[in-house]
Chain A
Amino acid sequence: MKRRIFTSMVAGMSLAAGLMGTSAMAQDNMRIALVVKALGIGFFEAAAEGAEEAAAELGNVEVIYTGPTDTTAEGQIEVINSLIAQGVDAIAISANDPDAVAPALKRAMQRGITVISWDSGVNEEGRMMHLNPSSTALIGNTILKLAADHMPDGGQVAILSASATATNQNAWIAAAEEVLPNYPGIDLVATVYGDDLSDKSYREAQGLMASYPDLKAIIAPTTVGILASCQAVSDAGKIGEINVTGLGLPSEMAGCVASGATESFAIWNPIDLGYSATMIAHALASGAVAEPGAEISTGRMGSVTLDDTNSAAMSDPFTYDASNIDQFKDIF
């Protein structure tokens, strides 16, 4: 506890120092470093694109897109040390390890650098705030909405999950069940588990089609499950009757959307994530305070509100369909 107070004191002082720093050189460009897990990953390249977009919108901001060449905490620590030496104004990091990079980031904060984490978080002591791509409640609502949007007359839907013990999938499904009453006419008939194995997921999807001949949609909040369901629906000749939806990556789902087995699906948008992280880093480095309950503006994405752990959720997962899949399938 004592340590926590000390940390927040240090954070406060460093923030003050940061403030003085920025006001002293207001004419200079603010330099924000976007530190990713590793260079050369499509998802992060897309995030960097979003960061550049934010920089262009803000004016006088320079984005330094950097990271190690492999996904190690050691590599990130080196990168952070070099950023401290360069005296950047803010670091926004997607961490390879929540604990290992914290000491280096603490040192950065002591030198007056604004530090936030995004996508993959850092321990509370090692950052001022953390930006989650989305929240359990938002994801649960989105996966149900994706199915309901294409069922104007209502009908039966089923969920095909990963393993029965998967923590995140179970949380999303529970959140979806909670908002089920908001979608009148939608009847959730079964939840089955494909264990993230192609063959088992495929069989479970076949089983759903056999058990519920009137099934209108299969919701799979897992990348293996959504692909296997899409294949099972195609092979059964039920494209158009059953809509396969859920969470998937555009590069993997392009075939399903092209065949029509999937009307739409969702996943967090890395461009928006990079954009929001940059906006937040800029706001904090310019004087906004990261504390529970604080609301920070994120430009075109609206704003985020911090919870007790100084974490915030960006938005609903982004929806992909035939109109935008070609744009994203080569990105991630």
Chain B
Amino acid sequence: MSKQALMSREVLLTGAIVLLLAIIASRFPAFITPGNLANVFNDTAPLILLAIGQMIVILTRCIDLSVAANLALTGMVVAMINVAMPALPVPVTILISVAFGALLGMVNGVLVWKLAIPPIVVTLGTMTIFRGSIFLLSDGKWVNAHEFSDPFKAFPRTELLGLPVMSWFAIAAVILFTLVMTRTTLGRAFYAVGGNPHAATYAGIDVGKTQFWAFTISGALAGLTGYLWVSRFAVAFVDLAGGFELNVVAACVIGGVAIMGGIGTVIGAMLGALFLGIISNALPVVDISPFWQLAISGGAIIIAVALNAQANREKGRIILKRAEHAT
């Protein structure tokens, strides 16, 4: 029963995406050619990566507003490392970006865990601190296309089995985290902590520590995306990806992740990100006034959330029931 219900939410969203594509195709047929859809997926890859991290954080009844700032700071750090050491192999750069992003995530995690500060306040603070740090690091200067080494810029664009490497990162993350969330103790702990923190404590789960790991994962994914972003647009500066954290939260919410915690799937977050990605890629080609574009994006979010809010209410009960049966 519960499994069917969970499936239906993803099915509903898939249906909405297909409908959306059909509407766009009626105005601009070339949009749904496989090549263009692959482009759209590739363009949405950073949003998917960030949405997975954000979903895990939201599951534990927290929120991470610092993801975009983390992305920008990590991006600037790897960009400056690349300028200083152009010969550094790309895999090492990626490892640095993941590690540095995770470190920044841990800062959020420790503050939430040890000092028990509300996550929205912590990440609002670190968001500003991270942005400020970029300015201090870079002196407000930009790192530009001609300053990066060629392998640094080429890596996310390299095609592998018809898709750019950046898309494969998103696909790999979806598979990896689906396994983590469904098959590991930590993954189940995220659900337990968000579903009912008191019950989770009684079951021997350290709520704060679980939240700490959620922030660390979100940070690591933001760090990885930082490298991909800087490399894709071949520029690093203070305002990089400004305001992008709101898109990430929107993708999660559209993907059926409950803001109250405990409910959400990796596939849902991915579909939510794709939904937004398709809208933002389609609006430029269907020739709509920029003011309408904003209104349409916003309207789509409200409709999706309204639908999900209805569904979530039922799901909440079902998941708790299942948890009851399980224990």
A residues contacting B by CB (< 8 A) are: 164, 190, 192-193, 196-200, 202-204, 206-208, 210-211, 227-228, 230-231, 235, 251-256, 258-259, 329
Q: B96-145: which residues lie under 8 A (CB-CB) from chain A? A: 142, 144-145
Q: Which residues of A contact B244 (CB under 8 A)?
A: 199
Q: Which 5 A-B pairs have the closest CB atoms?
A: A207-B284, A255-B145, A255-B146, A198-B233, A164-B290
How big is chain B's contact interface, by range? 20 to 34
Q: Which residues of A contact B241 (CB under 8 A)?
A: 197-199
- Do B234 and A255 touch (CB < 8 A)? yes
B residues contacting A by CB (< 8 A) are: 28, 30-31, 36, 39, 43, 46, 142, 144-147, 157, 229, 232-235, 239-244, 280-281, 283-285, 287, 290-291
- Do A198 and B284 touch (CB < 8 A)? no
Chain B's closest residue to A193 (CB) is B290
- Do A206 and B39 touch (CB < 8 A)? yes
Q: Is the interface of A mostly helix, strand, loop or mixed?
A: helix
Q: Which of A207, A208, A231, A253 is packed against the most chain B CB atoms within 10 Å?
A: A207
Q: How far is the CA of A198 from the CA of B287 in the complex (A)?
A: 20
- Do B28 and A211 touch (CB < 8 A)? yes
- Do A231 and B233 touch (CB < 8 A)? yes
- Do A254 and B144 touch (CB < 8 A)? yes
Q: Which residues of A contact B280 (CB under 8 A)?
A: 200, 203
Q: Which residues of B contact A200 (CB under 8 A)?
A: 280
- Do A207 and B285 touch (CB < 8 A)? yes
Q: How far is the CA of A129 from the CA of B281 in the complex (A)?
A: 48
Q: Besides A199-B43, A206-B284, A227-B233, 16 other CB < 8 A contacts?
A: A192-B284, A199-B241, A199-B244, A202-B43, A202-B233, A206-B43, A207-B281, A208-B284, A210-B28, A231-B232, A235-B157, A254-B144, A254-B146, A255-B144, A259-B145, A329-B146
Q: Which residues of A contact B229 (CB under 8 A)?
A: 198-199
Q: How far is the CA of A213 from the CA of B280 in the complex (A)?
A: 20
22 A-B pairs with CB atoms under 8 Å apart are A164-B291, A192-B290, A198-B229, A202-B233, A203-B43, A203-B280, A203-B284, A204-B284, A206-B281, A210-B30, A210-B31, A211-B285, A227-B233, A228-B235, A231-B145, A231-B235, A253-B144, A254-B146, A255-B145, A255-B146, A255-B147, A256-B145
Q: Which residues of B contact A230 (CB under 8 A)?
A: 145
- Do B235 and A252 touch (CB < 8 A)? yes
- Do B287 and A251 touch (CB < 8 A)? no
- Do A199 and B233 touch (CB < 8 A)? yes
Q: How far is the CA of A329 from the CA of B147 in the complex (A)?
A: 11
Q: How far is the CA of A202 from the CA of B229 in the complex (A)?
A: 12
Chain B's closest residue to A235 (CB) is B157
Q: How far is the CA of A121 from the CA of B257 in the complex (A)?
A: 51
Chain A's closest residue to B293 (CB) is A193
Min CB gap A39→B, angstroms: 13
Min CB gap A165→B, angstroms: 9
Partner of A258 from B146, B233, B285 at Cβ < 8 Å: B146
Q: How far is the CA of A231 from the CA of B230 in the complex (A)?
A: 12
Q: Which residues of B contact A190 (CB under 8 A)?
A: 287
CB contact under 8 A between A251 and B39, given known A192-B284, A198-B235, A203-B281: no
